[in-house]
Structure 1
Amino acid sequence: MSPLAPAPLDTALPNLDAWVAWFRKAEMPVLADTADALEAMRANEDDVDANLIGEMVAHDPLMTLKILAHAATHRPERRVTDVETVTAAIVMMGISPFFNTFGPQPTVEDRLAPVDGALEGVNHVLRRVHRASRFAFAFAVHRMDLDAAVIHEAALLHDFAEMLLWCHAPSLALRIRAMQQADPALRSAAAQQSVLNITLADLQHELMKAWALPDLLIRITDDRQARHPSVQSVVLAIRLARHTAEGWDNPAVPDDITEIAQLLNLSPDAALQFVNKVDE
Protein backbone atom coordinates (compact mmCIF):
# COMPACT_ATOMS: atom_id res chain seq x y z
CA MET A 1 0.00 0.00 0.00
CA SER A 2 1.54 3.23 -1.13
CA PRO A 3 1.95 6.21 1.23
CA LEU A 4 0.55 8.44 -1.49
CA ALA A 5 -2.81 10.00 -0.69
CA PRO A 6 -4.81 11.00 -3.78
CA ALA A 7 -7.12 13.98 -3.39
CA PRO A 8 -10.67 13.04 -2.37
CA LEU A 9 -12.79 11.74 -5.22
CA ASP A 10 -15.79 13.90 -6.07
CA THR A 11 -16.74 12.07 -9.27
CA ALA A 12 -17.36 8.37 -9.68
CA LEU A 13 -14.80 6.31 -11.59
CA PRO A 14 -16.08 4.49 -14.70
CA ASN A 15 -15.74 0.84 -13.72
CA LEU A 16 -14.56 -1.70 -11.15
CA ASP A 17 -11.01 -1.95 -12.50
CA ALA A 18 -10.57 1.81 -12.14
CA TRP A 19 -11.86 1.79 -8.57
CA VAL A 20 -9.57 -1.10 -7.59
CA ALA A 21 -6.52 0.60 -9.12
CA TRP A 22 -7.36 3.88 -7.36
CA PHE A 23 -7.78 2.34 -3.92
CA ARG A 24 -4.62 0.26 -4.27
CA LYS A 25 -2.67 3.53 -4.54
CA ALA A 26 -4.55 5.35 -1.79
CA GLU A 27 -3.21 5.96 1.68
CA MET A 28 -5.16 4.03 4.31
CA PRO A 29 -5.85 6.03 7.48
CA VAL A 30 -6.55 4.35 10.82
CA LEU A 31 -8.54 5.37 13.87
CA ALA A 32 -6.96 8.06 16.05
CA ASP A 33 -7.11 5.80 19.13
CA THR A 34 -5.11 3.18 17.22
CA ALA A 35 -2.51 5.71 16.07
CA ASP A 36 -2.08 7.02 19.62
CA ALA A 37 -1.84 3.52 21.12
CA LEU A 38 0.71 2.51 18.50
CA GLU A 39 2.95 5.45 19.43
CA ALA A 40 2.64 4.64 23.14
CA MET A 41 3.68 1.05 22.42
CA ARG A 42 6.52 2.19 20.18
CA ALA A 43 7.97 4.12 23.14
CA ASN A 44 7.94 0.90 25.21
CA GLU A 45 8.79 -1.61 22.50
CA ASP A 46 10.64 -3.99 24.84
CA ASP A 47 7.48 -4.49 26.91
CA VAL A 48 5.23 -5.22 23.91
CA ASP A 49 4.38 -8.58 22.34
CA ALA A 50 2.29 -9.69 19.35
CA ASN A 51 -0.76 -10.51 21.49
CA LEU A 52 -0.79 -7.04 23.03
CA ILE A 53 -0.60 -5.37 19.62
CA GLY A 54 -3.23 -7.74 18.22
CA GLU A 55 -5.64 -6.90 21.03
CA MET A 56 -5.08 -3.18 20.47
CA VAL A 57 -5.68 -3.47 16.71
CA ALA A 58 -8.76 -5.70 17.10
CA HIS A 59 -11.16 -2.73 17.31
CA ASP A 60 -9.85 -1.06 14.14
CA PRO A 61 -10.91 -2.63 10.81
CA LEU A 62 -8.62 -0.42 8.73
CA MET A 63 -5.47 -1.10 10.76
CA THR A 64 -6.39 -4.79 10.73
CA LEU A 65 -6.67 -4.66 6.95
CA LYS A 66 -3.42 -2.73 6.63
CA ILE A 67 -1.45 -5.31 8.61
CA LEU A 68 -2.98 -8.33 6.89
CA ALA A 69 -2.38 -6.86 3.44
CA HIS A 70 1.25 -6.10 4.26
CA ALA A 71 1.79 -9.59 5.68
CA ALA A 72 0.20 -11.21 2.64
CA THR A 73 2.38 -9.32 0.17
CA HIS A 74 5.60 -9.71 2.20
CA ARG A 75 5.27 -13.38 3.14
CA PRO A 76 8.57 -15.32 3.26
CA GLU A 77 8.93 -17.72 0.34
CA ARG A 78 9.38 -20.63 2.74
CA ARG A 79 5.95 -20.01 4.27
CA VAL A 80 3.27 -21.99 2.42
CA THR A 81 0.23 -21.22 4.58
CA ASP A 82 -1.74 -17.99 4.80
CA VAL A 83 -1.39 -15.64 7.77
CA GLU A 84 -5.02 -15.37 8.83
CA THR A 85 -4.95 -13.13 11.92
CA VAL A 86 -3.24 -9.90 12.92
CA THR A 87 -1.45 -11.57 15.83
CA ALA A 88 -0.03 -14.25 13.53
CA ALA A 89 1.06 -11.56 11.06
CA ILE A 90 2.96 -9.69 13.79
CA VAL A 91 4.59 -12.90 15.02
CA MET A 92 5.76 -13.54 11.45
CA MET A 93 7.13 -10.00 11.10
CA GLY A 94 8.70 -9.60 14.55
CA ILE A 95 8.08 -6.69 16.92
CA SER A 96 10.88 -4.35 15.79
CA PRO A 97 10.20 -4.88 12.07
CA PHE A 98 6.51 -4.26 12.75
CA PHE A 99 7.22 -0.86 14.31
CA ASN A 100 9.72 -0.05 11.54
CA THR A 101 7.11 -0.87 8.90
CA PHE A 102 4.21 0.91 10.56
CA GLY A 103 5.42 4.34 11.57
CA PRO A 104 3.17 7.17 12.79
CA GLN A 105 -0.20 6.62 11.13
CA PRO A 106 -2.52 9.07 9.35
CA THR A 107 -5.94 9.14 11.00
CA VAL A 108 -9.52 8.93 9.81
CA GLU A 109 -10.46 11.77 12.14
CA ASP A 110 -7.88 14.17 10.69
CA ARG A 111 -8.81 13.28 7.13
CA LEU A 112 -12.56 13.73 7.57
CA ALA A 113 -12.64 16.68 9.98
CA PRO A 114 -13.27 19.22 7.16
CA VAL A 115 -16.25 17.29 5.70
CA ASP A 116 -19.58 17.73 7.48
CA GLY A 117 -21.23 14.37 8.19
CA ALA A 118 -18.36 12.19 6.96
CA LEU A 119 -16.95 11.20 10.36
CA GLU A 120 -20.47 10.43 11.51
CA GLY A 121 -20.82 8.15 8.48
CA VAL A 122 -17.64 6.22 9.33
CA ASN A 123 -18.64 5.93 12.99
CA HIS A 124 -22.02 4.50 11.98
CA VAL A 125 -20.27 1.75 10.00
CA LEU A 126 -17.84 1.13 12.87
CA ARG A 127 -20.62 0.69 15.42
CA ARG A 128 -22.29 -1.81 13.11
CA VAL A 129 -19.20 -3.92 12.43
CA HIS A 130 -18.15 -3.92 16.08
CA ARG A 131 -21.53 -5.33 17.08
CA ALA A 132 -21.48 -7.75 14.14
CA SER A 133 -18.01 -9.03 15.06
CA ARG A 134 -19.20 -9.75 18.61
CA PHE A 135 -22.26 -11.60 17.28
CA ALA A 136 -20.21 -13.56 14.75
CA PHE A 137 -17.59 -14.58 17.30
CA ALA A 138 -20.30 -15.72 19.72
CA PHE A 139 -21.97 -17.77 16.98
CA ALA A 140 -18.65 -19.39 16.09
CA VAL A 141 -17.78 -20.21 19.70
CA HIS A 142 -21.26 -21.70 20.24
CA ARG A 143 -20.76 -23.86 17.13
CA MET A 144 -17.21 -24.77 18.33
CA ASP A 145 -15.85 -23.50 15.01
CA LEU A 146 -12.06 -23.79 14.97
CA ASP A 147 -11.89 -20.66 12.80
CA ALA A 148 -13.65 -18.44 15.39
CA ALA A 149 -10.83 -15.86 15.37
CA VAL A 150 -10.95 -15.55 11.58
CA ILE A 151 -14.77 -15.32 11.67
CA HIS A 152 -14.50 -12.44 14.15
CA GLU A 153 -11.98 -10.75 11.84
CA ALA A 154 -14.16 -11.35 8.77
CA ALA A 155 -17.13 -9.63 10.43
CA LEU A 156 -14.90 -6.74 11.46
CA LEU A 157 -13.68 -6.36 7.86
CA HIS A 158 -17.04 -7.04 6.21
CA ASP A 159 -17.71 -3.39 5.32
CA PHE A 160 -14.19 -2.03 4.94
CA ALA A 161 -14.92 -0.78 1.40
CA GLU A 162 -17.69 1.42 2.78
CA MET A 163 -15.27 2.85 5.36
CA LEU A 164 -12.68 3.51 2.66
CA LEU A 165 -15.34 5.24 0.55
CA TRP A 166 -16.16 7.57 3.45
CA CYS A 167 -12.44 8.29 3.88
CA HIS A 168 -11.55 8.90 0.23
CA ALA A 169 -14.83 9.89 -1.48
CA PRO A 170 -16.98 11.39 1.30
CA SER A 171 -19.14 13.45 -1.06
CA LEU A 172 -20.11 10.28 -2.95
CA ALA A 173 -20.79 8.40 0.29
CA LEU A 174 -22.99 11.28 1.45
CA ARG A 175 -24.95 11.10 -1.84
CA ILE A 176 -25.60 7.39 -1.31
CA ARG A 177 -26.75 8.01 2.26
CA ALA A 178 -29.05 10.84 1.14
CA MET A 179 -30.63 8.61 -1.51
CA GLN A 180 -31.35 5.89 1.04
CA GLN A 181 -32.71 8.34 3.57
CA ALA A 182 -35.05 9.75 0.92
CA ASP A 183 -36.17 6.23 -0.07
CA PRO A 184 -35.81 3.73 2.82
CA ALA A 185 -36.86 0.89 0.49
CA LEU A 186 -33.89 1.54 -1.82
CA ARG A 187 -31.38 -1.29 -1.58
CA SER A 188 -27.79 -0.39 -0.77
CA ALA A 189 -26.43 -2.11 -3.88
CA ALA A 190 -28.79 -0.18 -6.15
CA ALA A 191 -27.83 3.15 -4.58
CA GLN A 192 -24.13 2.32 -4.87
CA GLN A 193 -24.46 1.27 -8.51
CA SER A 194 -26.30 4.50 -9.29
CA VAL A 195 -23.69 6.76 -7.67
CA LEU A 196 -20.45 4.78 -8.08
CA ASN A 197 -21.02 2.63 -11.20
CA ILE A 198 -20.13 -0.38 -9.02
CA THR A 199 -21.27 -2.06 -5.82
CA LEU A 200 -19.08 -1.92 -2.74
CA ALA A 201 -19.34 -5.71 -2.32
CA ASP A 202 -17.69 -6.21 -5.71
CA LEU A 203 -15.03 -3.59 -4.94
CA GLN A 204 -14.27 -5.18 -1.60
CA HIS A 205 -13.97 -8.67 -3.05
CA GLU A 206 -11.56 -7.50 -5.76
CA LEU A 207 -9.44 -5.50 -3.29
CA MET A 208 -9.12 -8.51 -1.00
CA LYS A 209 -7.85 -10.54 -3.94
CA ALA A 210 -5.55 -7.73 -5.10
CA TRP A 211 -4.04 -7.48 -1.62
CA ALA A 212 -3.66 -11.30 -1.51
CA LEU A 213 -5.60 -11.63 1.73
CA PRO A 214 -6.01 -15.18 3.08
CA ASP A 215 -8.33 -17.41 1.05
CA LEU A 216 -10.29 -18.37 4.16
CA LEU A 217 -10.90 -14.71 5.02
CA ILE A 218 -12.03 -13.95 1.45
CA ARG A 219 -14.42 -16.90 1.45
CA ILE A 220 -15.92 -16.08 4.83
CA THR A 221 -16.44 -12.44 3.83
CA ASP A 222 -18.16 -13.40 0.55
CA ASP A 223 -21.93 -13.30 1.14
CA ARG A 224 -22.45 -15.27 -2.08
CA GLN A 225 -21.18 -18.39 -0.27
CA ALA A 226 -23.77 -17.97 2.47
CA ARG A 227 -24.60 -21.69 2.76
CA HIS A 228 -21.32 -22.40 4.51
CA PRO A 229 -21.82 -22.22 8.32
CA SER A 230 -18.76 -19.99 8.84
CA VAL A 231 -20.05 -17.56 6.22
CA GLN A 232 -23.52 -17.76 7.73
CA SER A 233 -22.08 -16.74 11.08
CA VAL A 234 -20.78 -13.54 9.49
CA VAL A 235 -23.75 -12.85 7.19
CA LEU A 236 -26.32 -13.27 9.96
CA ALA A 237 -24.23 -11.25 12.39
CA ILE A 238 -23.94 -8.37 9.92
CA ARG A 239 -27.64 -8.58 9.07
CA LEU A 240 -28.69 -8.57 12.72
CA ALA A 241 -26.38 -5.64 13.47
CA ARG A 242 -27.88 -3.67 10.56
CA HIS A 243 -31.49 -4.44 11.49
CA THR A 244 -31.01 -3.60 15.18
CA ALA A 245 -28.85 -0.51 14.75
CA GLU A 246 -31.76 1.72 15.83
CA GLY A 247 -33.43 -0.80 18.17
CA TRP A 248 -34.89 -4.29 18.20
CA ASP A 249 -38.31 -3.45 16.74
CA ASN A 250 -37.27 -3.74 13.08
CA PRO A 251 -39.77 -6.09 11.32
CA ALA A 252 -36.87 -8.05 9.79
CA VAL A 253 -35.48 -9.13 13.18
CA PRO A 254 -37.80 -12.16 13.70
CA ASP A 255 -36.59 -13.66 10.40
CA ASP A 256 -32.99 -13.04 11.46
CA ILE A 257 -33.60 -14.79 14.77
CA THR A 258 -35.20 -17.77 13.00
CA GLU A 259 -32.12 -18.23 10.81
CA ILE A 260 -29.75 -17.73 13.75
CA ALA A 261 -31.69 -20.35 15.70
CA GLN A 262 -31.22 -22.80 12.84
CA LEU A 263 -27.49 -22.03 12.63
CA LEU A 264 -27.01 -22.51 16.38
CA ASN A 265 -29.44 -25.42 16.74
CA LEU A 266 -31.51 -23.47 19.27
CA SER A 267 -35.17 -22.58 19.59
CA PRO A 268 -36.07 -19.07 18.39
CA ASP A 269 -36.68 -17.93 21.98
CA ALA A 270 -33.32 -19.30 23.10
CA ALA A 271 -31.60 -17.69 20.10
CA LEU A 272 -33.14 -14.31 20.95
CA GLN A 273 -31.95 -14.62 24.55
CA PHE A 274 -28.51 -15.61 23.26
CA VAL A 275 -28.05 -12.58 21.00
CA ASN A 276 -29.50 -10.20 23.61
CA LYS A 277 -26.92 -11.44 26.11
CA VAL A 278 -24.12 -10.98 23.56
CA ASP A 279 -25.33 -7.45 22.85
CA GLU A 280 -25.16 -6.50 26.52
Structure 2
Amino acid sequence: MLDHPLPDIDAWALLFSNNSLPVLRVTKRRLDEMREDIERVDTRELAHLILQDPIMTVRVLAFIQPMRGRALQHDITTIASAVLMAGMNPFFRRFEDLPTVEGMLKGEDPHALLGVLQVIRRAQRAADYAQDWAIWRHDINMEEVRIAALLHDLTEILVWCFAPKLGLDIRAQQLAQPTMRSVDAQTQTIGFTFQDIQPELCRIWHLPDLLLRLLDDANAANPRVQNVALAVRLARHSSHGWEDPALPDDYRDIGHLLNITPEAVRQRLGLEPMPAREAEDD
Protein backbone atom coordinates (compact mmCIF):
# COMPACT_ATOMS: atom_id res chain seq x y z
CA MET A 1 0.00 0.00 0.00
CA LEU A 2 1.23 3.46 -0.89
CA ASP A 3 1.90 5.62 2.17
CA HIS A 4 3.43 8.73 0.57
CA PRO A 5 2.42 11.21 -2.15
CA LEU A 6 3.53 10.58 -5.74
CA PRO A 7 5.47 13.27 -7.63
CA ASP A 8 3.00 14.11 -10.40
CA ILE A 9 -0.41 13.41 -11.92
CA ASP A 10 1.03 10.90 -14.41
CA ALA A 11 2.43 8.84 -11.54
CA TRP A 12 -0.97 8.72 -9.84
CA ALA A 13 -2.69 7.77 -13.08
CA LEU A 14 -0.16 5.01 -13.72
CA LEU A 15 -0.61 3.63 -10.21
CA PHE A 16 -4.33 3.22 -10.76
CA SER A 17 -4.20 2.11 -14.40
CA ASN A 18 -1.40 -0.45 -13.97
CA ASN A 19 -3.14 -2.30 -11.14
CA SER A 20 -6.28 -4.41 -11.15
CA LEU A 21 -9.08 -2.27 -9.76
CA PRO A 22 -11.07 -3.81 -6.89
CA VAL A 23 -14.86 -4.04 -6.94
CA LEU A 24 -17.30 -4.32 -4.06
CA ARG A 25 -17.53 -7.78 -2.50
CA VAL A 26 -21.26 -7.89 -3.18
CA THR A 27 -20.58 -7.18 -6.88
CA LYS A 28 -18.11 -10.07 -7.13
CA ARG A 29 -20.47 -12.43 -5.31
CA ARG A 30 -23.43 -11.63 -7.54
CA LEU A 31 -21.31 -11.90 -10.71
CA ASP A 32 -20.06 -15.31 -9.58
CA GLU A 33 -23.64 -16.41 -8.97
CA MET A 34 -24.71 -15.21 -12.41
CA ARG A 35 -21.76 -16.96 -14.06
CA GLU A 36 -22.96 -20.26 -12.61
CA ASP A 37 -26.29 -19.88 -14.43
CA ILE A 38 -25.22 -17.76 -17.40
CA GLU A 39 -28.04 -18.90 -19.70
CA ARG A 40 -30.59 -17.26 -17.43
CA VAL A 41 -28.78 -13.96 -16.90
CA ASP A 42 -30.95 -10.95 -17.69
CA THR A 43 -28.96 -8.11 -19.29
CA ARG A 44 -30.94 -5.43 -17.45
CA GLU A 45 -30.38 -7.14 -14.09
CA LEU A 46 -26.67 -7.40 -14.82
CA ALA A 47 -26.48 -3.74 -15.85
CA HIS A 48 -28.34 -2.71 -12.68
CA LEU A 49 -25.77 -4.60 -10.55
CA ILE A 50 -22.84 -2.96 -12.35
CA LEU A 51 -24.37 0.52 -12.05
CA GLN A 52 -24.31 0.26 -8.24
CA ASP A 53 -20.51 -0.10 -8.22
CA PRO A 54 -18.39 2.83 -9.46
CA ILE A 55 -15.24 0.78 -10.02
CA MET A 56 -17.05 -2.06 -11.79
CA THR A 57 -18.77 0.50 -14.00
CA VAL A 58 -15.49 2.09 -15.09
CA ARG A 59 -13.93 -1.35 -15.62
CA VAL A 60 -16.74 -2.30 -18.00
CA LEU A 61 -16.53 0.99 -19.91
CA ALA A 62 -12.74 0.71 -20.22
CA PHE A 63 -13.10 -2.92 -21.37
CA ILE A 64 -15.59 -2.14 -24.11
CA GLN A 65 -14.08 0.98 -25.71
CA PRO A 66 -11.31 -0.80 -27.72
CA MET A 67 -13.92 -3.27 -29.02
CA ARG A 68 -16.05 -0.60 -30.69
CA GLY A 69 -14.07 -0.64 -33.90
CA ARG A 70 -14.81 1.73 -36.75
CA ALA A 71 -18.24 0.31 -37.48
CA LEU A 72 -19.81 2.33 -34.68
CA GLN A 73 -19.99 6.08 -35.11
CA HIS A 74 -20.87 6.67 -31.46
CA ASP A 75 -19.22 5.74 -28.19
CA ILE A 76 -20.80 3.07 -26.03
CA THR A 77 -22.08 5.03 -23.03
CA THR A 78 -24.52 2.58 -21.42
CA ILE A 79 -23.70 -0.58 -19.54
CA ALA A 80 -26.38 -2.77 -21.13
CA SER A 81 -25.05 -1.83 -24.58
CA ALA A 82 -21.52 -2.64 -23.43
CA VAL A 83 -22.55 -6.09 -22.21
CA LEU A 84 -24.44 -6.81 -25.44
CA MET A 85 -21.48 -5.74 -27.55
CA ALA A 86 -19.03 -7.89 -25.56
CA GLY A 87 -21.30 -10.93 -25.49
CA MET A 88 -22.35 -12.63 -22.30
CA ASN A 89 -19.70 -15.38 -22.25
CA PRO A 90 -16.72 -13.10 -23.10
CA PHE A 91 -17.99 -10.63 -20.52
CA PHE A 92 -18.02 -13.18 -17.72
CA ARG A 93 -14.65 -14.61 -18.78
CA ARG A 94 -13.12 -11.13 -18.64
CA PHE A 95 -14.41 -10.44 -15.15
CA GLU A 96 -13.45 -13.64 -13.33
CA ASP A 97 -11.48 -13.64 -10.07
CA LEU A 98 -11.99 -9.96 -9.40
CA PRO A 99 -10.18 -8.39 -6.43
CA THR A 100 -12.45 -6.75 -3.89
CA VAL A 101 -12.24 -3.48 -2.00
CA GLU A 102 -12.84 -5.34 1.26
CA GLY A 103 -10.08 -7.86 0.51
CA MET A 104 -7.64 -5.17 -0.59
CA LEU A 105 -8.04 -3.22 2.66
CA LYS A 106 -8.01 -6.26 4.94
CA GLY A 107 -5.33 -5.74 7.57
CA GLU A 108 -5.35 -1.97 7.09
CA ASP A 109 -6.76 0.52 9.57
CA PRO A 110 -10.49 -0.40 9.73
CA HIS A 111 -11.32 3.28 9.34
CA ALA A 112 -9.91 3.08 5.79
CA LEU A 113 -12.52 0.53 4.74
CA LEU A 114 -15.21 2.59 6.42
CA GLY A 115 -13.93 5.67 4.60
CA VAL A 116 -14.03 4.16 1.12
CA LEU A 117 -17.43 2.56 1.69
CA GLN A 118 -18.78 5.95 2.76
CA VAL A 119 -17.50 7.55 -0.45
CA ILE A 120 -18.97 4.73 -2.55
CA ARG A 121 -22.30 5.08 -0.78
CA ARG A 122 -22.18 8.82 -1.48
CA ALA A 123 -21.52 8.09 -5.16
CA GLN A 124 -24.47 5.68 -5.26
CA ARG A 125 -26.76 8.33 -3.78
CA ALA A 126 -25.49 10.95 -6.23
CA ALA A 127 -26.21 8.55 -9.09
CA ASP A 128 -29.74 7.92 -7.79
CA TYR A 129 -30.43 11.66 -7.51
CA ALA A 130 -28.99 12.34 -10.96
CA GLN A 131 -31.07 9.59 -12.54
CA ASP A 132 -34.27 10.76 -10.85
CA TRP A 133 -33.77 14.33 -12.05
CA ALA A 134 -32.77 13.20 -15.56
CA ILE A 135 -36.05 11.30 -15.82
CA TRP A 136 -37.94 14.37 -14.55
CA ARG A 137 -36.19 16.49 -17.19
CA HIS A 138 -36.95 13.95 -19.96
CA ASP A 139 -33.22 13.54 -20.62
CA ILE A 140 -32.51 11.68 -23.84
CA ASN A 141 -30.29 9.17 -22.01
CA MET A 142 -30.64 9.19 -18.25
CA GLU A 143 -28.08 6.39 -17.83
CA GLU A 144 -25.28 8.60 -19.16
CA VAL A 145 -26.13 11.14 -16.47
CA ARG A 146 -26.29 8.41 -13.83
CA ILE A 147 -22.87 7.06 -14.81
CA ALA A 148 -21.28 10.52 -14.75
CA ALA A 149 -22.58 11.13 -11.20
CA LEU A 150 -21.47 7.64 -10.10
CA LEU A 151 -17.93 8.21 -11.44
CA HIS A 152 -17.55 11.87 -10.43
CA ASP A 153 -15.52 11.00 -7.30
CA LEU A 154 -13.82 7.88 -8.68
CA THR A 155 -10.30 9.16 -7.97
CA GLU A 156 -11.19 9.69 -4.31
CA ILE A 157 -12.37 6.06 -4.12
CA LEU A 158 -9.14 4.85 -5.73
CA VAL A 159 -6.95 6.87 -3.35
CA TRP A 160 -8.73 5.20 -0.41
CA CYS A 161 -8.11 1.77 -2.01
CA PHE A 162 -4.45 2.16 -3.01
CA ALA A 163 -3.24 4.75 -0.48
CA PRO A 164 -5.53 4.39 2.56
CA LYS A 165 -3.11 6.22 4.86
CA LEU A 166 -3.36 9.31 2.65
CA GLY A 167 -7.14 9.01 2.58
CA LEU A 168 -7.14 8.94 6.37
CA ASP A 169 -4.77 11.94 6.49
CA ILE A 170 -7.13 13.97 4.28
CA ARG A 171 -10.09 12.97 6.43
CA ALA A 172 -8.20 13.87 9.63
CA GLN A 173 -7.39 17.36 8.32
CA GLN A 174 -11.03 18.04 7.56
CA LEU A 175 -12.17 16.77 10.96
CA ALA A 176 -9.56 18.94 12.71
CA GLN A 177 -10.57 21.99 10.63
CA PRO A 178 -14.28 21.69 9.77
CA THR A 179 -14.20 24.83 7.62
CA MET A 180 -11.35 23.53 5.45
CA ARG A 181 -12.35 22.93 1.83
CA SER A 182 -11.88 19.34 0.70
CA VAL A 183 -9.76 20.42 -2.28
CA ASP A 184 -7.34 22.19 0.09
CA ALA A 185 -6.97 19.06 2.22
CA GLN A 186 -6.33 17.01 -0.91
CA THR A 187 -3.70 19.43 -2.22
CA GLN A 188 -1.90 19.60 1.11
CA THR A 189 -1.77 15.80 1.40
CA ILE A 190 -1.12 14.53 -2.13
CA GLY A 191 -0.09 17.67 -3.99
CA PHE A 192 -3.12 17.67 -6.29
CA THR A 193 -6.88 17.51 -6.11
CA PHE A 194 -8.74 14.36 -7.02
CA GLN A 195 -10.30 16.20 -9.95
CA ASP A 196 -6.81 17.11 -11.22
CA ILE A 197 -6.01 13.41 -11.58
CA GLN A 198 -9.31 12.17 -12.97
CA PRO A 199 -9.07 13.52 -16.58
CA GLU A 200 -5.79 11.67 -17.11
CA LEU A 201 -7.38 8.44 -15.87
CA CYS A 202 -10.29 8.94 -18.24
CA ARG A 203 -7.83 9.45 -21.10
CA ILE A 204 -5.88 6.29 -20.28
CA TRP A 205 -9.07 4.23 -20.09
CA HIS A 206 -10.44 5.81 -23.30
CA LEU A 207 -13.71 6.69 -21.63
CA PRO A 208 -16.31 8.22 -23.96
CA ASP A 209 -15.94 11.93 -24.68
CA LEU A 210 -19.55 12.49 -23.67
CA LEU A 211 -18.83 11.19 -20.17
CA LEU A 212 -15.75 13.41 -19.93
CA ARG A 213 -17.90 16.44 -20.69
CA LEU A 214 -20.52 15.42 -18.13
CA LEU A 215 -17.80 14.87 -15.51
CA ASP A 216 -16.28 18.30 -16.06
CA ASP A 217 -17.84 20.84 -13.70
CA ALA A 218 -16.36 23.58 -15.91
CA ASN A 219 -19.19 22.90 -18.39
CA ALA A 220 -21.70 24.12 -15.82
CA ALA A 221 -23.80 25.98 -18.38
CA ASN A 222 -24.95 22.64 -19.77
CA PRO A 223 -28.11 21.41 -17.96
CA ARG A 224 -26.92 17.79 -18.06
CA VAL A 225 -23.63 18.80 -16.39
CA GLN A 226 -25.64 20.80 -13.83
CA ASN A 227 -27.71 17.69 -13.19
CA VAL A 228 -24.57 15.69 -12.38
CA ALA A 229 -22.84 18.43 -10.37
CA LEU A 230 -25.91 19.19 -8.24
CA ALA A 231 -26.49 15.49 -7.53
CA VAL A 232 -22.88 15.15 -6.38
CA ARG A 233 -23.22 18.31 -4.25
CA LEU A 234 -26.43 17.14 -2.60
CA ALA A 235 -25.00 13.70 -1.83
CA ARG A 236 -21.88 15.27 -0.33
CA HIS A 237 -23.70 17.88 1.76
CA SER A 238 -26.27 15.40 3.07
CA SER A 239 -23.81 12.58 3.74
CA HIS A 240 -23.91 13.20 7.50
CA GLY A 241 -27.54 14.27 7.78
CA TRP A 242 -29.81 17.01 6.52
CA GLU A 243 -28.56 19.88 8.71
CA ASP A 244 -25.63 21.05 6.58
CA PRO A 245 -25.82 24.85 6.10
CA ALA A 246 -25.08 24.48 2.37
CA LEU A 247 -28.26 22.46 1.71
CA PRO A 248 -30.67 25.43 1.27
CA ASP A 249 -28.52 26.65 -1.64
CA ASP A 250 -28.62 23.15 -3.08
CA TYR A 251 -32.43 23.04 -2.90
CA ARG A 252 -32.60 26.43 -4.64
CA ASP A 253 -30.24 25.42 -7.46
CA ILE A 254 -31.88 22.02 -7.95
CA GLY A 255 -35.22 23.83 -8.12
CA HIS A 256 -33.88 26.06 -10.88
CA LEU A 257 -32.73 22.99 -12.81
CA LEU A 258 -36.04 21.17 -12.44
CA ASN A 259 -38.20 24.30 -12.68
CA ILE A 260 -39.80 23.66 -9.29
CA THR A 261 -39.64 25.44 -5.93
CA PRO A 262 -37.07 24.61 -3.22
CA GLU A 263 -39.99 23.31 -1.13
CA ALA A 264 -40.95 20.95 -3.97
CA VAL A 265 -37.33 19.74 -4.10
CA ARG A 266 -37.49 18.92 -0.39
CA GLN A 267 -40.77 17.07 -0.99
CA ARG A 268 -39.20 14.98 -3.77
CA LEU A 269 -36.40 14.11 -1.36
CA GLY A 270 -38.91 12.99 1.26
CA LEU A 271 -37.97 15.78 3.66
CA GLU A 272 -41.44 17.32 3.64
CA PRO A 273 -44.83 15.66 3.13
CA MET A 274 -46.27 15.77 -0.38
CA PRO A 275 -49.42 17.84 -0.91
CA ALA A 276 -52.40 15.46 -0.92
CA ARG A 277 -53.13 15.70 -4.65
CA GLU A 278 -49.46 15.32 -5.69
CA ALA A 279 -49.04 12.35 -3.36
CA GLU A 280 -52.09 10.68 -4.94
CA ASP A 281 -50.73 11.28 -8.45
CA ASP A 282 -47.43 9.62 -7.55
Normalization by structure 1: what TM-score? 0.93
Contact 1:222–1:231 (Cα < 8 Å) also in 2: yes
Q: What's the Cα RMSD here? A: 1.4
Unaligned runs of 5+ in 1: 1-7
Secondary structure at the residue paired with 1:251? coil
- Mapped pair 1:196 → 2:152: no
Tell me what 1:100 maps to.
Answer: 93
Look up the match of 1:3.
none
What code does the residue aligned with 1:56 have?
L
Answer yes or no: is 1:36 the counterpart of 2:29: yes
- Distance in 2, matches of 1:123 and 1:276, equals 24
CA distance in structure 1 between the partners assigned to 2:4 and 2:239 by the alignment: 30
1:191-248: CA deviation from partner (whole Å, max 9, x where unpaired): 1111111110011122112211111111111111112100111111111111111211
Return the alpha-carbon distance in structure 2 between the equivalents of residues 34 and 111 of structure 1.
Answer: 15
1:72-83 mapped onto 2 (5 Å cutoff):
72-83=65-76
| Aligned match of 2:150 | 156
Q: Determine helix, strand or coil for the equivalent of 1:276.
A: coil
CA contact (8 A) 1:30 1:107 kept: yes
CA distance in 1, matches of 2:204, 2:239: 31
The DSSP-based 3-state class of the residue aligned with 2:241 is coil
Deviation track 1:144-184 (CA, whole Å, cap 9, x = no partner) reads 11121111111111111111111101011111111111111
One-letter amino acid of the counterpart of residue 247, structure 2: V
Q: Following TM superposition, by how much is the alpha carbon of 1:112 offset from its aligned partner in structure 2, in angstroms?
A: 0.7
Which residue identity does 1:218 align to in structure 2? L
How far, CA to CA, are the matches of 2:42 and 2:267 in structure 1? 37
1:241 aligns with 2:222: no
Which one of the candidate residues 30, 51, 71 is aligned to 2:44? 51
Contact 1:73 1:211 in 2 (8 A): no
Task: Give the aligned partner of residue 25 of structure 1.
Answer: 18
Q: Match of 1:67?
A: 60
Counterparts of 1:270 and 1:51, CA distance in 2:
31
* C-alpha distance in 2 between matches for 1:191 and 1:89: 37
- Unmatched runs of 5 consecutive residues or more in structure 2: 273-282
* Residue 126 in structure 1 maps to residue 120 in structure 2: yes
Contact 1:49–1:95 under 8 Å retained in 2: no
In the alignment, residue 33 of structure 1 is paired with which amino acid?
A: V
CA positional deviation for 1:277: 6.8
Which residue does the alignment assign to 2:275?
A: none
Runs of 4+, deviation exceeding 3 Å = none
Match of 1:167 in 2: 161
What is the CA–CA distance in structure 1 between the aligned matches of 2:87 and 2:49, rounded to whole Å? 16
SS in 2 for 1:96: helix
Q: How far apart, in 2, do the equivalents of 1:178 and 1:159 lie?
A: 19
- 1:181 matched to 2:175? The reply is yes
Task: Write the distance in 1 (CA, Å) between the matches of 2:25 and 2:16.
Answer: 21
Query: What is the rounded CA distance, in whole Å, between the counterparts of 2:42 and 2:69 in structure 1?
Result: 21
Identity of aligned residues (%): 43
Per-residue CA deviations over 1:53-79 (Å, capped at 9, x if unaligned) read 111212111101100011113323322
Q: Letter of the aligned partner of 2:147 in structure 1? A: E
In the alignment, which of 215, 218, 227 is matched to residue 224 of structure 1?
218
